[in-house]
Structure 1
Amino acid sequence: MAGTSGGTPLREDVLVVEGLHCGSCAAAVEAMLKRQPGVAEAAVNFAADSATVRFDTAQTDLARLQKAVARLGYRLLAPGEEGRDAGGGKRLHRRLLIRLAVALVFGMWCMMPAYLVYLAPLGIVEPSITWPLALASGLFALPVLVYSGAHFYRVGFNTLRVGAPGLDALITLAVLAATAVSVWQLARGSAHVYFDAAVMLITFQLIARFIDGRVRRRAADVVRSYLSQAPETATRLDPAGRRETLPAAEIAPGERIVLTAGEPLALDAAVLEGHGEVDQALLTGEYEPSTAGPGDTLRAGCTLVTGELELSVIAAVGERRIDALARSVRGLLSRKTALQRLTDAAARVLLPIIVTAAVLATGLGAALGLAADEALTRGLAVLIIACPCALSLAIPLVVVTGHARMVAKGVIFRDPAALETAADAHVVVFDKTGTLTTATPAIAEVLPAGDDTPETLLALAADTLHGTDHPVAHSLAAHAPPSARAGGGVRQVQAGLGTRWERDGHTRLAGRAAWLGEQGVSVPPADDARMALHLAENGRYRGVIHFDEALHPDAAETVAALKRAGHEVYLLSGDHRASCLRQAERLGIAPERVVAGVTPEAKQRFIEGLEQRRAVAFVGDGLNDGLALAGARLGMAVGDATPTAQAAAAVYLPDGVGRVPATLALARRARRLMRQNLGWALGYNALALVLAVAGLVAPVIAAAAMTLSTLCVLLNSLRMKAAR
């Protein structure tokens, strides 16, 4: 529930909108939703393909909203349906690419005869063939006008229909005006046609949409990444106790499922029988596997490391915690930033201004005694020169032109919209597990008992755990490879407790202190705050090995560099506080800036709290970091980050946390260039309107000036390549 209206509950949903091509599409859907009875608030974002809707459940329902959106030619997906159609975005991208290819090929052929007509006054072309050349220009323009520009006409009409006209309506008006005047000129035997100007408008806008789609639309990938963490199938137990593998979507709450070692969990469920160790690092950030037994609740996406569990499903597909996280991330990515709002607002305001200016220019020409065709030509020049192509390219070009430079420096910008606030990111918050530390625990200290040496204790531990899949076994194998005799004997692994190895009449134990005590071993008092492996042989206690997380090699220097630059550095983790404080001390992070034991939702709330006073950059790598990465002003996924984290973040740093300081510097430069591009585009449109209304610019010069404006934005964007 999101509130009430006259005692009736208001429902709030973050829904997927399928079929959006551009910001104007989003504006049309948003306006349509706002017009529906019972809708209190609606916000649609093209960058995230999403709609956030608050509506009165007594007056309307989701089915009615879906029908309303369908009338515009789009699909509004219900909760639980998001992320299932991975090919939808690819199909839209492919259609856009085909439209652009048609526009480029036929556009070039259209412009060749048009340019010859323009050169006729210089004596290069015989006047007698200018009309056939003008006709040829129109024929070559036909595929572009009919096919490549069809989307702009449809969206432009839809936005006008719902009272939210934007850039597409302006493009439609300019293209139709240029085409109509050109056809009229041909009909009266004149060669003064402007098919090339209409083609250029369509082509430049398709290029802008192509670039924009490649660098900004990622929320659908986030949702699919979240849902891919849970398998699509599960093993169900029928009433007779038989096991059958079924799609997870067909299993209802209350039914029983079985989870075996090494298998990820598909559904939220409560443990009924069995014991095991569960890796929940993706969901909670805890680097040490936790024990699970009857009464414990497990969430979809966790993995059973050892043991076997029988569980009762408590949440079906669409209602799992992982589904809620995916929807929350989509909602966060749907927020519009300042530059996005400025661009959208400018496009909406420009339409009535440009149309008014075109009518004024036509009327002024008629008042001055100009012929009808000359007066109309003045109005057409206004529509062409003032069409904000440069405005729509201002932000995407900065990212595209600087992409090679960024990749060379180990920085992959995924969302330019987040970069505008990166220059103000004075606070840097790090996740711990996997971000500042490695996944494999490191041996902190070896404490033998009696006459044993550290080397013999390590060898005993490596031999006892040989062949098991526990993270501790991998760490031991790296420091003390198992001996030849480790392959023999019989091993019994008791999930979450320890391992018994019997060979040649000897019994070796490795595990928790309490478990060794249950086996009759006298274990001295021990500090088990850290991950500890206690060892015994034939009933005699042999010692303990303590493990700790290993820091990434460049973690300490990264934190030091950020502190030297004046940044506040925080550690934010789902792991327990003792572990977090140990790593913070090694990194030089103050204890009061360590926040431990937090859920993914709490991480995001903490980030929001910090951002009330200063802009925040959050650095993480796991599924449990997705909300914080999406909600921070600048989310950075690092190293071997999960696909979910990479998709949710605005920046991906494959080389690890060492690139964080350089990333902030690159982001500051990118924002500066974006602002310069927007300033140039808006200033150009203002000046161009005055000149065109005054009749100082012909349509052909207007088309050239429009190209020049876009070229200036491109040249300024190329400066991103020089970023150091």
Structure 2
Amino acid sequence: MGALDPIRLSDTAATGCPSGLQNIPVAQIDPLSVQLDLTPYVQSTEEGHQRIDLIVQGAHCGGCLTKIERGVGAIASVKTARMNLSTLRLRVEWTGDKSQASVIAQTLSKLGFGAAPYDITQSDDGREAESKALLRAMAVAGFAAMNVMLLSIAVWSGGTDMGPQTHTLLHWISAAIALPTVAYAGRPFFRSAWAALKNKRTNMDVPISLAILLACSLSVYETVKGNPDTYFDAAVMLLFLLLIGRFLDARLRLRTGEAARRLAAMQVTSATRLLDTGVIETVPARDIHPGDRLLIPAGQRIAVDCIIESGQSDIDMQIATGETKLQSFGPGDTLYSGTTNLGAPLTVRAIAKHSDSFLSEITALVEAGEQNKSRFVRIADKAARAYVPVVHSVAALTFIGWMIVGGDLRVAALNAIAVLIITCPCALGLAVPAVQIVAAGRLFKAGVLVKSGDALERLAKTKTVIFDKTGTLTTGQFNLLNAADNAPTDLAIAAALAKQSTHPLARALHAYASDLDVKDVVDIAGQGLSAKVSGHTVRFGSAKLVGEAAEPAARHSSVWLKIDDRPAQCLAFTDMARADAADTIAALQDQGLRVEMLSGDAAAVVKDVADELGLSRAKGGVSPKQKMQIIQTRGIEGRYPLMVGDGINDAPALAAGYSSASLASAADVSRSAADIILQGDRLSSLPVAIDIARAAQRRVVENLTLAVGYNFIAIPLAVLGFVNPLIAAVAMSGSSLIVTLNALRLHRNNHSVFEAEGVS
């Protein structure tokens, strides 16, 4: 076993989350207790290294990610340690034997984190529970806030007509509601603040917790003394507003790993293995090794990368290339995991393990792209970094100053609490969400769904838009080009036979079908169909099937039709561009954006579509990994690329893009990986989305400026004793109202944009 490097590990020695967000002891969250044998979960790589995937429990922030990667990387034999914060997956690769896995588990435990063998279908269980707990706390705080505010209104409006005893009674009722509410609903903030303080750190939850606890303590004191003013309403309302933001953030973090989870669900969990003795057995896909012979029946997804030994069939390659046209494969051809056998049964030989096959690689690429996005620091987070030390310092100095000047503990405490309340980050916290809510509502009316909280900020920086071709700029559905060159009766015969097939080109002929009698249909693997149609002998498929020497050297997809002994006819098909594709590209270019197209289709086909749409930058024959690499290059160049795609093969590129968009009709995985979804399959809403994102970014900057300006005015008043906690609570609410009203201006300033798009 390798030894730990004490110097490097000391940099990360503080236990748990550096930001104090982990609030459960490691002993409770670590299901291993550092004793579970992990060797069965270790895999050997082609380079002779060992590798294991673990789910890390207790990781919450970028600080956790850095701490874990550095801590595990400090083990002498470890070559790489990479963590995905979206799915909580840690992949470690090392030299030596498999028993080194226990050292990794022990290291994680010493760092303050739990670990277990990675299962992507269960990796979000903890976050789902956290989200539900926050929702319950928010509901309790909201209910209590309504009731305490009603009691406060009664006190305020009672005036001289209400006696001191009645005032005190209403204050005690408020306390009976507020104090249990604060104890229950405030736990997420209190635990986080306490964990941060134990680690000799501070975070945003420390001043929040102080403000809530001190406001409640002061209110209890004022109630006991029979004084007229209490601040239970301020404490509970503050808690409710902050829980809303915390819940939305938790839901966002839960959703960030959705694309990777959907891809994992697509991976085949079992396969049929053919032993040398002739015995057929069903085995888990993870147990398949290179050299194993497998049987792939028609209709089954392929579990691992393999080479065909016998059989010929049509394969749906859309997941790998994006092409909707089925491709014929035979002995010696290579098939990739995730593709689907749609023709005849095949016997294949595995050339890679399940974890090293194509679909696993796609999953890894998506996770890597999602992790890069999770490193994005929102503008509000940047503004909040200076907030905590400033607020703590000002409140402490206020208390000390008033103790020196007047020596009255109650007055000093009142003014210090007023500083904490008046500077509570409601305006700062609402500055961004308020704009996002308004912008998301306007985008929804424009046919755009916003999926993540930081999507608009990233979308606003876009300088380059990169489109996939098939299913994005084109419809993904084929149309017959040369219908006029063929007799209607011939097309009816072809359509009658085509109804027996699910091939995309065959489906394009269904519109020409009639009630002709079809008999004796034979499916010739990899070539097409033959049958008797109303007494005619008909063959429909490849050039080889009808006796032609070769396929035509054309840029369009084609299929051959031969009726009886007549000369074969070539039917040409094309994937039509979307009706609004050209206008969308022109609109994006008018916004000063560079537009490109990347596709897995043949270069000649891609060039035709690019010429039709007025695109000067287009590239064909691009694999999913190459798409991702090109997008990463654009990011390095400072182009902030927006990727637009629809297929499973586009998911890595969508995850890697600085921002991303997908059509509503896209594959589930692509919709999950995208930041925004274009409803109604309309590309024309994309320029609108970018326009609104840019306007929203301006409103965010304005709101943050207003929030900071408010504090510059309010803090001196609170420090000098001109503001008590009640007025501080009102001022705090007023600042939140101001940033909300400013966010609503986004609707008015972008109204002309929506009118241009026909949106009310």
SS of residue paired to 2:342? strand
Q: 1:543 to 1:397 in 2, by over 3 A?
A: same
Deviation of residue 372 (structure 1)? 0.7
**Matched-pair contact (CA < 8 Å) for 1:185–1:191:** yes
SS of residue paired to 1:583? helix
Range with bigger deviation, 504-513 or 416-425: 504-513
SS of residue paired to 2:553? coil
Q: What CA deviation, in whole Å up to 9, does each residue of 1:410-431 have, x standing for no partner?
A: 1111124132243343422211
SS of residue paired to 2:377? helix
**Matched-pair contact (CA < 8 Å) for 1:31–1:164:** no
Counterpart amino acid of 1:578? A
> Residue 359 of structure 2 is aligned with which of 311, 318, 322?
322
Counterpart amino acid of 1:575? D
**Matched-pair contact (CA < 8 Å) for 2:308–2:332:** yes
- What residue in structure 2 maps to residue 406 of structure 1? 443
Q: Distance in 2 between matches of 1:679 and 1:350?
A: 14
SS of residue paired to 1:710? helix
Deviation of residue 525 (structure 1)? 7.7
Taking the TM superposition and a 5 Å limit, the aligned residue runs for 1:510-589 are 510-516=540-546, 521=547, 523=549, 526-527=552-553, 529-538=555-564, 540-589=566-615
- What residue in structure 2 maps to residue 387 of structure 1? 424
Q: Distance in 2 between matches of 1:19 and 1:498?
A: 56
Range with bigger deviation, 303-312 or 29-38: 29-38
- What residue in structure 1 maps to residue 680 of structure 2? 655
1:622 aligns with 2:655: no
Taking the TM superposition and a 5 Å limit, the aligned residue runs for 1:228-239 are 228-237=265-274
Deviation of residue 601 (structure 1)? 1.8
- What residue in structure 2 maps to residue 467 of structure 1? 500
**Matched-pair contact (CA < 8 Å) for 1:216–1:414:** no
Deviation of residue 545 (structure 1)? 1.3
Deviation of residue 663 (structure 1)? 1.8
Q: What CA deviation, in whole Å up to 9, does each residue of 1:353-411 have, x standing for no partner?
A: 11111110001111111411111111111111112122222222222234333222111
Q: 1:193 to 1:65 in 2, by over 3 A?
A: farther
Q: 1:596 to 1:84 in 2, by over 3 A?
A: farther
- What residue in structure 2 maps to residue 594 of structure 1? 618
**Matched-pair contact (CA < 8 Å) for 1:39–1:55:** no
- What residue in structure 1 maps to residue 380 of structure 2? 343
Q: Distance in 1 between matches of 2:701 and 2:82?
A: 25
SS of residue paired to 2:470? coil
Q: Distance in 1 between matches of 2:234 and 2:289?
A: 59
**Matched-pair contact (CA < 8 Å) for 2:603–2:619:** yes
Q: Distance in 2 between matches of 1:375 and 1:688?
A: 17
Counterpart amino acid of 1:649? A
Q: Distance in 1 between matches of 2:305 and 2:210?
A: 53
> Residue 280 of structure 1 is aligned with which of 305, 317, 323?
317
Q: Which runs of 5+ in 1 are unaligned?
A: none
Q: 1:679 to 1:131 in 2, by over 3 A?
A: same
Deviation of residue 52 (structure 1)? 7.8
- What residue in structure 1 maps to residue 32 of structure 2? none
Q: 1:715 to 1:39 in 2, by over 3 A?
A: farther
Q: Distance in 2 between matches of 1:522 and 1:334?
A: 52
Q: Distance in 2 between matches of 1:602 and 1:550?
A: 25
Q: Distance in 2 between matches of 1:686 and 1:247?
A: 64
- What residue in structure 2 maps to residue 26 of structure 1? 61
Q: What CA deviation, in whole Å up to 9, does each residue of 1:555-606 have, x standing for no partner?
A: 222223333444332111111101111111221212xx11111111211221
SS of residue paired to 1:527? coil
> Residue 369 of structure 2 is aligned with which of 332, 345, 351?
332
Q: What CA deviation, in whole Å up to 9, does each residue of 1:489-530 have, x standing for no partner?
A: 2323222x23233578864322222444xxxx3548832553
Aligned residues with identical type, % of pairs: 32
Q: Distance in 2 between matches of 1:188 and 1:44?
A: 55
Q: Distance in 2 between matches of 1:705 and 1:158?
A: 30
- What residue in structure 2 maps to residue 258 of structure 1? 295
> Residue 406 of structure 2 is aligned with which of 359, 369, 384?
369
Q: 1:126 to 1:396 in 2, by over 3 A?
A: same
Taking the TM superposition and a 5 Å limit, the aligned residue runs for 1:132-147 are 132-147=169-184
Deviation of residue 635 (structure 1)? 0.9
Q: 1:361 to 1:671 in 2, by over 3 A?
A: same
Taking the TM superposition and a 5 Å limit, the aligned residue runs for 1:109-124 are 109-116=147-154, 122-124=159-161
Q: Distance in 1 between matches of 2:721 and 2:94?
A: 53
Taking the TM superposition and a 5 Å limit, the aligned residue runs for 1:142-221 are 142-186=179-223, 190=227, 192-214=229-251, 217-221=254-258
SS of residue paired to 1:434? helix
CA RMSD of aligned residues (A): 3.6
- What residue in structure 1 maps to residue 139 of structure 2? 101
Q: Distance in 1 between matches of 2:321 and 2:665?
A: 17
Q: 1:57 to 1:418 in 2, by over 3 A?
A: farther
Range with bigger deviation, 468-477 or 611-620: 611-620
SS of residue paired to 2:572? strand
- What residue in structure 1 maps to residue 38 of structure 2? none
Q: Distance in 2 between matches of 1:161 and 1:344?
A: 23
- What residue in structure 2 maps to residue 712 of structure 1? 738
Deviation of residue 466 (structure 1)? 3.4
**TM-score, structure 1 normalization:** 0.86
**Matched-pair contact (CA < 8 Å) for 2:164–2:226:** no
1:494 aligns with 2:532: no
SS of residue paired to 1:467? coil
Q: What CA deviation, in whole Å up to 9, does each residue of 1:3-46 have, x standing for no partner?
A: xx99xx999999866677xxxx4266357537847459999997
Deviation of residue 471 (structure 1)? 1.1
- What residue in structure 2 maps to residue 484 of structure 1? 516
Q: Distance in 2 between matches of 1:699 and 1:669?
A: 36
Range with bigger deviation, 368-377 or 391-400: 391-400
- What residue in structure 2 maps to residue 685 of structure 1? 711
SS of residue paired to 1:199? helix
Counterpart amino acid of 2:402? G
Counterpart amino acid of 2:506? A
Q: 1:405 to 1:372 in 2, by over 3 A?
A: same
Range with bigger deviation, 431-440 or 403-412: 403-412
Q: 1:172 to 1:336 in 2, by over 3 A?
A: farther
Counterpart amino acid of 1:636? A
**Matched-pair contact (CA < 8 Å) for 2:214–2:417:** yes
Q: Distance in 2 between matches of 1:77 and 1:677?
A: 43
Q: Distance in 2 between matches of 1:205 and 1:11?
A: 45
SS of residue paired to 1:488? strand
Q: What CA deviation, in whole Å up to 9, does each residue of 1:303-324 have, x standing for no partner?
A: 2221222334455555443333
SS of residue paired to 1:301? coil
Counterpart amino acid of 1:226? L
**Matched-pair contact (CA < 8 Å) for 2:516–2:533:** no
User: Paired residues, what number?
Assistant: 696
- What residue in structure 1 maps to residue 16 of structure 2? none
Q: Which runs of 5+ in 2 are unaligned?
A: 8-46, 752-760
**Matched-pair contact (CA < 8 Å) for 1:626–1:645:** yes
- What residue in structure 1 maps to residue 15 of structure 2? none
Q: 1:318 to 1:692 in 2, by over 3 A?
A: farther
Counterpart amino acid of 2:494? A
- What residue in structure 2 maps to residue 292 of structure 1? 329
Q: Distance in 1 between matches of 2:728 and 2:155?
A: 16
**Matched-pair contact (CA < 8 Å) for 2:662–2:676:** yes
**Matched-pair contact (CA < 8 Å) for 1:107–1:144:** no
SS of residue paired to 2:343? strand
Q: 1:539 to 1:494 in 2, by over 3 A?
A: farther
Counterpart amino acid of 1:139? A
**Matched-pair contact (CA < 8 Å) for 1:447–1:545:** no
Counterpart amino acid of 2:319? L
Q: 1:43 to 1:524 in 2, by over 3 A?
A: closer
